[in-house]
Amino acid sequence: MKISNPVFVTFYDETCIGVRTLMAITKQNNIKCSLVVFKTHGVGKIKSKEYGQNYEYYQNGKLVGSLMAFNPFTQKDVEVGVQLLKRLNPDLLCFSARTFGMPFAEWLARELKKQKFDVSILAGGWGPTLEPEKALEWADYVCFGEAEKMWQDVLDRGLDKNTKNLIYRINSHINRNPCHTPMTINELEELPFQNHDNNIQYLVDNEITHAVNWKRHTIYETFSGRGCPLSCSYCMSGMYRTIYKDFYDIHCPKYRLIPAKRIIEELCWAMGQWPTIRRIKLKDEVFPWDKKWLAEWIEQYPKVIGNIKFSGHLRPELHTEKTIKQLKQVGLLRTTVGIQSGSARMLKIYNRAFTLEMAKEFAHNLDKWNIGFSYHFISDCPFETEQDLINTLKLLWEMPYASLATHRLAIFPHTPIKKKIELENPQALSHYLHDWYNLLYCLAAIDKWRRPLSKVIWRLKIFRKHPSALKILFWFADIKKILKWILRK
């Protein structure tokens, strides 16, 4: 069928760089389209326990919720969304969903079918790519992997059962069509810039908001490449090569870096569109470390972009003190120190490619050059012993002070750690013990006043069985914020 009015749908993803690129391709082909985002991605007070503890995490001593734990997906969202989609009257619905978004995509799709809204649903993103059999319970088709070439085929010739990258059911059998080769670096360079047209985007969050600008007035987000050079056992970002090999026997580069010149061209374009931009975020799992790329970025960014600050994820094993200093001089504002564990044994399980000494040196270099950062650790991994938790706490006693977040391990389909858990069936420590250590980590990291407290509490095992009692030790920061707010008023 020839497509003339597709509507893209995302869940908790207003940034949706990949979808906005497909929208730009659609616009380039003189075909109208729309974007409907269900729910904003926020962090704050936990409002729903329905989705389990994976969407709760400790941030500087506070247990907060993200995604649907903070902003639950409701029946009202479904009802409002269905009415909006009917009004937009698409001839193809394109659902983009990560793994956590699959239940909401299904909820919406089933409600549409219940109301006899007769339009085909094409599902894409990591969730449907990894588990097409689940997605095909509510979608008519699944797009495997990278969608840009497949989408151009759809715009040229329509969607049918010969379309490449398409997965669909024939009775009880799941059929996989041949697959396009992954995008080359040259092809990535030639993609149009993201489509942020105000008059075609909508937010559904208990009610409809039209012409949504979100945060792009002041922040612009993009990628400098595709994939990830690392192979962390819990993450999908570096697994393009694996999934293309496993499902289609096609070689896919693990990481494709777009030239710095092209990224700067995109930033110039964005600043021309929205002069109020005050910050750039490179969303890649790893900020580029290629020497040629860095040299061009360091030379051209301040000349072309000026004094607009940027952030990105630097890594202990890839970015030296010299690089950190140079990036600071041209505008690097913030980064993360994603250690995940202070146990060398756990770093091997997570397949992290650095030592604890490298992590310490990296954090001290960031602190030396006054670059803002936060520590990230993984909590509630079933392979952790208490000694691993103790090692993490002792590591933090030697690190510079900074904010800290501990995220509970989310187990994604086809990841190495999921396979290892299924094979070995490890016995996990109690959540209470993890929570106690999570709060001790926060005390150890935040400031010089609370680090000694973390040592005393750990040594005397204070509130070990009642970790929530430790939360009072973080109230002072809230009181300071309230006083500052009052003084400003």
Query: Do 32 and 76 sit in the same domain of this protein?
Result: yes
β-strand pairing of 166-170 with 279-282: unpaired
Query: Do 78 and 149 sit in the same domain of this protein?
Result: yes
Query: Do 383 and 458 sit in the same domain of this protein?
Result: yes
Query: Do 352 and 444 sit in the same domain of this protein?
Result: yes
Q: What pLDDT was estimated at residue 480?
A: 58
* Mean pLDDT of all residues in 239-243: 85
Q: Which residues of 460-487 are buried (b: 16+ CB within 10 A; e: fewer)?
A: eeebeeebeebeebbeeeeeeeeeeeee
Per-residue pLDDT for 199 more than 90?
A: no
Query: Do 415 and 431 sit in the same domain of this protein?
Result: yes
Domain membership flag for residue 55:
no
Torsion of CA 190, 192, 193, 198, to 10 degrees: 180
**How many residues comprise the chain?**
489
Range of the domain at 103: 6-47+69-204
DSSP state of 198: G
The total domain count for the chain is 2
Portion of the chain with pLDDT greater than 90, in percent: 81
Name which of 37-41, 58-62, 216-220, 334-338 the model is least confident about.
216-220
Domain membership flag for residue 345:
yes
Q: 3-state SS of 155-185?
A: HHHCCCCCCCCEEEEECCEEEECCCCCCCCH
Residue 286 CA to residue 130 CA, distance in Å, equals 23
* Mean pLDDT of all residues in 33-46: 90
Which of helix, strand or coil describes residue 378? strand
Residue 271 near residue 263, CB atoms below 8 Å: no
Residue 489 pLDDT level (bands cut at 50, 70, 90):
low
Where is the domain boundary, 158, 184, 204?
A: 204
Query: Do 473 and 369 sit in the same domain of this protein?
Result: yes
Query: Do 191 and 332 sit in the same domain of this protein?
Result: no
Query: Do 87 and 157 sit in the same domain of this protein?
Result: yes
Query: Do 199 and 227 sit in the same domain of this protein?
Result: no
Where is the domain boundary, 142, 169, 204?
A: 204
Tell me the CATH number at 335.
3.80.30.20
Higher-scoring residue by pLDDT: 471, 288: 288
Q: What pLDDT was estimated at residue 478?
A: 61
Residue 398 near residue 359, CB atoms below 8 Å: no
Using alpha carbons, list the distances in angstroms from residue 322 to 291, 293, 325.
12, 15, 5
Q: What pLDDT was estimated at residue 236?
A: 84
What are the helix and strand counts (H, E) for the chain?
A: 18, 20
Using alpha carbons, list the distances in angstroms from residue 166 to 155, 269, 461, 487.
14, 33, 56, 59
Query: Do 75 and 166 sit in the same domain of this protein?
Result: yes
Residue 92 CA to residue 37 CA, distance in Å, equals 16
Residue 37 CA to residue 12 CA, distance in Å, equals 7
Which segment, 55-64, 239-248, 338-347, is predicted with the most confidence on average? Answer: 338-347
pLDDT digits (tens, 9 = 90+) for 98-114: 989 999 999 999 999 99
Residue 81 CA to residue 346 CA, distance in Å, equals 43
Q: What pLDDT was estimated at residue 209?
A: 74
Residue 228 near residue 114, CB atoms below 8 Å: no
* Mean pLDDT of all residues in 462-479: 86
Higher-scoring residue by pLDDT: 262, 69: 262
pLDDT digits (tens, 9 = 90+) for 452-463: 999 999 999 999
Q: What pLDDT was estimated at residue 488?
A: 63
Q: What is the pTM of this model?
A: 0.93
Residue 385 near residue 429, CB atoms below 8 Å: yes
Per-residue pLDDT for 46 more than 90?
A: no
Q: CA 262, 267, 268 angle in degrees (round to 5)?
A: 95
Portion of the chain with pLDDT greater than 70, in percent: 95
Token output for 92? 């193809």
Residue 2 pLDDT level (bands cut at 50, 70, 90):
confident
* Mean pLDDT of all residues in 47-73: 83
Tell me the CATH number at 130.
3.40.50.280
* Mean pLDDT of all residues in 335-346: 97
Q: What pLDDT was estimated at residue 51?
A: 59
Per-residue pLDDT for 215 more than 60?
A: no
Query: Do 86 and 198 sit in the same domain of this protein?
Result: yes
Query: Do 267 and 193 sit in the same domain of this protein?
Result: no
* Mean pLDDT of all residues in 438-458: 95
Per-residue pLDDT for 438 more than 70?
A: yes
Query: Sheet holding 121-124: strands in order across?
Result: 173-176, 166-170, 141-143, 121-124, 92-96, 6-11, 34-38, 201-204, 208-210
